[in-house]
Structure 1
Amino acid sequence: MTQPTGHLDRGNGTKLAWAHHPGREPTVVFLPGFRSDMTGDKATALAAFCADRGHAMLRFDYSGHGASSGDFLAGTIGAWSADALAVIDALTTGQLILVGSSMGGWIALLAAIARPDRVAALVGIAAAPDFTQRLMWDAMTPAEQATLRRDGVLYVPSQYGDPTPITHALIQDGANHLLLSRRIPIRCPLRLLHGQADPDVPWDLALQIAEQAESQDVRVSLVKDGDHRLSRPADLALLRQTIAALLDQSSP
């Protein structure tokens, strides 16, 4: 499967890589996670699924991620959310189904709040709103917090490869976009998929999102042996089934 690809010039020296397959509405938009990109298993499986159904599908890389330019260490939740809105506004029209993985789930929620008239539904895969506060800052020791304040960046071990750099700017900016301490003004259908064996994002976070969302059309699907990525064949089948039902519900 070949998708039209390109780069969106943000006007600040950054160019965002994207792949957009045209088709009928609603357009499915995949928002990747922290240090992930649009070439992962979930993104490519979803692109093939949408192409088979004839639905439009957009995937992209945030600044400092994947094929996009920019410095990862300069990135923040606010900056990456602005990237998402810029790509969505420039490359899509009409109704959208946002599919966010991990950090992408947080950004998808922020995008839905910013564009309420355009988002027909939202799917979170191990969605991680507020992770900079709950899963990073609050989990650090006082010594680690002091190092982060002093040096501006802290490198923590990662089971997925090289140590993960966490910047003080990421933590500070994340505090400006926290969602779980209040009602989340999302009124579209909301589907939350989460593995109960997720070592990175606690599965009960999905229940908190469901509780805080204003939407009454919310369903949480827990996969008992599912990990953080939810990229096994059975996990991808669940994702396709979830998206298919929303497409059928939302299509004109």
Structure 2
Amino acid sequence: MTETTPGSEAPPVFLTVGTGEDARPIAVRARPASPDNAGPGLIWLGGFMSDMGGTKARAVDQWAVDHGRACVRFDYSGHGESPGPFTDGTIGRWLAEAEAIFAQCCQGPQVVIGSSMGGWIALLLARTLAARAGGRDGAWLAGLVLVAPAPDFTEELMWKNLPQDVKDTLVRDGLWHRPSHYAEGPYPITLNLITEARNHLVLGSSIQVGCPVRILQGVQDPDVPWQHAFALTSRLPADDVVLTLVQDGDHRLSRPQDIARMLAAIAEVSASPSSADHS
């Protein structure tokens, strides 16, 4: 697999999402399909404090090149090449950006690949699209590929596990800097991120996504326990949902063998009958 070297990509296009004072530019890289390729396009939804230049995102893009597929990658506001304060971000705000990019940049069947927080965004996007099924032209879902998905992480994996003194800090100051082993500095966590996310929790009821789902989860993941993936599968329809546990896998799942599993999952859902038929 050939990787694009850092800095060799063309500059992104910036699309405006929101209106008035809420308008913000979102960095997008959209690759068209080959003229003779009718396979589903791909859209990448990255994780919390991640960007479209990461190893998995670039691997998805390269797979699209190799197979003549359309591919869309973008950075949420406050991430990567999209400007704006990260602390303005919420699940609802980033979901609105994903919905806007999907509507503006995608056409026909699409496989959505969501990593970590992007898995949560992908489920919310899928639920919205499934509710519109039957009366929508343009783009629709052929499948979901979720890598270490973290639905409801702000509540189930963060807030419920925070010490009381940290909760007190968040309530008092509206901000807490969470140590991270994925970055040089801590992650800024706002109280608004946690409280606004309660409008988008999905694990409390059935999640209707209307397409095949493949989930990859590392058993050694220190951030999203494998039990969380089981909780998610119990909320998805029973048909055509496959959970793969990687016994020695961590949260990133970005080793060559992990990338291969992700790409195989993309190929598998791309071959599903739903990838061609829009019911």
- Equivalent residue, structure 1, for 2:44: 30
Pick the aligned partner of 2:31 from 14, 18, 21: 21
1:206 aligns with 2:237: no
CA contact (8 A) 2:233 2:241 kept: yes
**1:16-165 equivalence runs, <5 A:** 16-23=26-33, 24-116=38-130, 117=133, 118-161=140-183, 162-165=185-188
Pick the aligned partner of 1:193 from 216, 219, 235: 216
Structure 1 CA distance for aligned equivalents of residues 178 and 82 of structure 2: 24
Q: Deviations for 1:96-150, whole angstroms, at most 9, x for unmatched residues?
A: 1110000000000000011123111111100000000011111111111111001
**1:3-14 equivalence runs, <5 A:** 5-10=12-17, 11=19, 12-14=22-24
- After the TM superposition, which segments of 4 or more aligned residues of structure 1 sit over 3 Å from their partners? 1-5
CA contact (8 A) 1:4 1:20 kept: no
CA contact (8 A) 1:190 1:215 kept: no
Amino acid of the structure 1 residue aligned with 2:14: H
List runs of 5+ in structure 1 lacking aligned partners: none
Going by fraction, where is strand more abundant, 1 or 2? Answer: 1
- Equivalent residue, structure 2, for 1:236: 259
Structure 1 CA distance for aligned equivalents of residues 124 and 260 of structure 2: 26
Structure 2 CA distance for aligned equivalents of residues 3 and 206 of structure 1: 36
3-state SS of 2:40 partner: strand
Query: Residue 92 of structure 1: CA displacement?
Result: 1.1
CA contact (8 A) 1:187 1:215 kept: no
Q: How many residues align?
A: 252
TM-score, structure 2 normalization:
0.87
Identity %: 44
Query: Residue 204 of structure 1: CA displacement?
Result: 1.4
Structure 2 CA distance for aligned equivalents of residues 243 and 4 of structure 1: 26
Amino acid of the structure 1 residue aligned with 2:27: A
Query: Residue 4 of structure 1: CA displacement?
Result: 7.8
Query: Residue 31 of structure 1: CA displacement?
Result: 0.2
Amino acid of the structure 2 residue aligned with 1:199: P
CA contact (8 A) 2:142 2:272 kept: no
Q: Deviations for 1:62-115, whole angstroms, at most 9, x for unmatched residues?
A: 000000011110100000000100111111111111100000000000000111
Query: Residue 238 of structure 1: CA displacement?
Result: 0.6
Structure 1 CA distance for aligned equivalents of residues 72 and 128 of structure 2: 18
Structure 1 CA distance for aligned equivalents of residues 172 and 214 of structure 2: 40
- Aligned CA distance change for structure 1 residues 127 and 109 (closer, same or farther; 3 Å): same
TM-score, structure 1 normalization:
0.96
CA contact (8 A) 1:189 1:215 kept: no
**1:211-222 equivalence runs, <5 A:** 211-222=234-245
TM-align CA RMSD: 1.4
